[in-house]
A and B are shown apart, each in its own frame.
Chain A
Amino acid sequence: MTHITRRTALGLGLSTAFILGTNGSAFAADPIKIGFPANLTGNAASLDGPMLNGGKLAAAEINAAGGVLGRPIELVVYDTKSDATVISTVASQLIDSDKVISIVAFSDSDSVLAIGPQIQKAQIPLITPGATSPKLPSQLGNEVFLACFGDNVQAAVGAEFALNSLKAKTGYLLTDIGTEYTTLLSDYFVKTYEHGGGKLLGQDSYKTGDKSFTAQIAKIKALPEAPGFIYAASLVDEVTLILKQLRQAGIDIPVVGGDGYDSPLLLQVGGKAAENTFFTTHSYIGAGATPKVQAFMDAYKAANKVDPENAFAALGYDAVKLMADAIKRAGEVDSAKIRDAIAATTGLDGVTGTITYRPGIAVPDKSVSVIGVKDGKLFLASEAAPTFVPEP
């Protein structure tokens, strides 16, 4: 902030009163309402829950520092239950009744696809912390921005990690055909892996919610040549079962996947079977992290009594900071101006990396962390940007 206007000065004074424990709405100004629908229950709960905690932490920090444009920000939160019908109802509620100025939402592409048409029609900008489909902006329109890398980037890093670090020149592909996220991830993986000289010995599919993968696994065992690794484009619920059933069948090769694995459930449910698993995600949050991440971890723990569960906590935090930064640069609380300000974001330093939108592209270029499982613990296996990125 280069100069303090009367309004922000007032805001600062009042927010200090707020911190000193008046414990209520001490702001004179109306809060700026930002919609935050999240799948707090259902399939995506282990991602959206931490994401919301991260978002709330960012909002608390912003308000403690005087809010934005002299007004506090308020996250309007609804549980959308991992259900497209509920998402659509909540979208109407946010747009028509709550009159939010912008929205931060979701960790998965399917949920963003469900809310997209309504926010696009109402011309309200949306930042998704964790939905990674790079096609979202072109599918939905100019109001949609990703705070995270695209699936083409993380799948490419996963493929190059297998080729270069695991030295696996042959692979096998398992795809969950039940979600947009996993099918896209799988496509991008094949393109990069084959571009890099890798050879797929076969591929198979299943659907979200399946519990038995024994038929697919028996096929892998029956291959004339054992693959060097398995890329499983999967969500965490299924991959833990795939891992258990693979290891029980005596297949110990590495399993590689995307940020859908980044949930505490991978270790809790996967147990010993999760050994030798690698996944690409937004940030490494754990022992030996960078000071910036460490500061976030401490603040998160202070606010929520638990360590950040996964990178989605950091993404939620970054997305709310990004939104607040854009509102500040827009100079007024106006959806169209905020959208333009988001698009003009350059060099915003977040916990999950630096966010810059190239002109006309609503997916930031960010580096990818590869996290591995060893002796029941997560470790940072690599931090990389891919050399080849398939077209979205």
Chain B
Amino acid sequence: MSGFEYILQQVINAVSLGSLYALVAVGLSIVFGVLKLTNFAHGDVMMVGAFTTVLLIGVGVPFIPALFGGIIASAIAGFLIERIAYRPVRNAPDVTRLLTSLAVTYILENVGILIFTSSPHNFPLPDSLNESWQLMGGAITFTNINILTLALTLLSLVGLGWFITKTTLGLGMRAASEDMSAAQLVGLDVNRLIVVAFIVASAFAGLAGVLWAAQAGVVQPQMGFTPLLKAFVAAIIGGFGSISGALVGGFMLGALEILIVAFLPDAITPYRDAIVFSLLIAFLLFRPGGLMQPNREIKL
């Protein structure tokens, strides 16, 4: 394997990992943008989507329809969470809302454990998606699920871009995320916008959850924690609450994690997470608005 092929392979790896992080981070950012709420339950909404898909595949539904089933289940879960848990505390102090979101996380996770136990379950990904492509005489490899992940990420992001720039609902959502009270003053139905934001964000969580589980090969009730943590970092690097920022942050984080392992000496590799989180602290200290929103204060 030549140097060029090695670099190309690592770039493919970085894009494939980054697209997953970006998907999760975008959902997190949509909710934060509108509600200024760090939705810790986002990872558990991913879990809902992943388990739904596994159950659907289990009763014989093909992968793609099952994937959409998972997305719909996540969207419904998001809708219910907003209605039942977040709306009553919407005007409460930040700490109350933060704790509510943590409580929702624990409830969902434990309900998951009660139903499915906490042992990992196999994710029945069809063999056709597990097949790998060997290019340049086997020097470059990637799998069909990698391609599908990237394609669905791009497709859903283009769709989201269209939604928030071209539709009245989407424009309203952006208006609400810029200034909630102003949006209310000009006559926008803020309740409706928040519901829409939750549904869209949760659908993204569902998609991300299914793809994450498909790549990992397993589902379990606690599966949302790691992606949530990564998405959090990605969102802060990109600029919390900014959708484009989350996207850039997600791909940057994926690239960073791969590059540290790929190109730094072996002795450094164990410090990968330490390096990533140091970068997070550096961003919070010197550029709290992230890449896309210089100097805008964020509150968690």
Contacts and interface: CB of A to CB of B under 8 A. Distances in A.
Contacts of B113: 41
B217 A240 contact: yes
Nearest to A82: B118
A212 B217 contact: no
The 7 closest A-B pairs by CB, nearest first: A41-B118, A215-B261, A214-B13, A248-B132, A215-B258, A218-B9, A222-B6
Contacts of A49: 119
Contact of B216 (A207, A241, A250): A241
Contact of A205 (B141, B216, B269): B269
A392 B245 CA distance: 50
A216 B217 CA distance: 19
B122 A269 contact: yes
A234 to B, nearest CB: 14
Interface residues of B, number: 36
Given A237-B120, A244-B130, A211 B226 contact: yes
B147 interface: no
Interface string A188-232: 000000000000001111110101101110110110000000000
Contacts of A212: 13, 16-17, 215, 257-258
B218 interface: yes
Contacts of A222: 1, 6
A268 B122 contact: yes
A118 to B, nearest CB: 24
Contacts of A249: 132, 141
B84 to A, nearest CB: 26
Contact of A215 (B13, B119, B130, B266): B13
Given A41-B118, A45-B118, A209-B226, A244 B217 contact: yes
Contacts of A215: 10, 13, 257-258, 261-262
A42 interface: yes
Interface string A111-148: 00000000000000000000000000000000000000
Interface string B214-258: 011110001000100000000000000000000000000000011
A189 to B, nearest CB: 16
A343 to B, nearest CB: 35
A211 to B, nearest CB: 5
Contacts of A218: 6, 9-10, 13, 262
B120 A214 contact: no
A336 B215 CA distance: 51
B100 interface: no
Contacts of B226: 209, 211
A221 B139 contact: yes
B142 to A, nearest CB: 8
Nearest to B12: A214
A327 to B, nearest CB: 32
A17 interface: no
B130 A204 contact: no
A95 interface: no
B130 A177 contact: no
Given A41-B118, A215-B262, A218-B10, 11 more contacts: A41-B119, A45-B118, A177-B270, A209-B226, A212-B215, A214-B9, A214-B17, A214-B258, A248-B141, A249-B132, A265-B120
Given A205-B269, A214-B13, A250 B138 contact: yes
Nearest to A40: B118
B135 to A, nearest CB: 11
A209 B217 CA distance: 13
Interface in A52-81: 81
A46 interface: yes
Contacts of A221: 1, 6, 9, 139
Nearest to B258: A215
15 contacts: A41-B113, A49-B119, A81-B118, A204-B261, A207-B273, A211-B226, A212-B258, A215-B262, A218-B262, A237-B218, A240-B217, A248-B141, A248-B143, A250-B141, A269-B120
A377 to B, nearest CB: 17
B134 interface: yes
A41 B117 contact: yes
A244 B273 CA distance: 23
Contacts of A219: 261-262
A58 B187 CA distance: 71
A355 B20 CA distance: 49
Interface string B115-138: 001111010000000101010001
Given A42-B222, A269-B122, A211 B215 contact: yes
Contacts of B17: 212, 214
Given A41-B118, A215-B10, A204 B132 contact: no
B32 interface: no
A219 B132 CA distance: 18
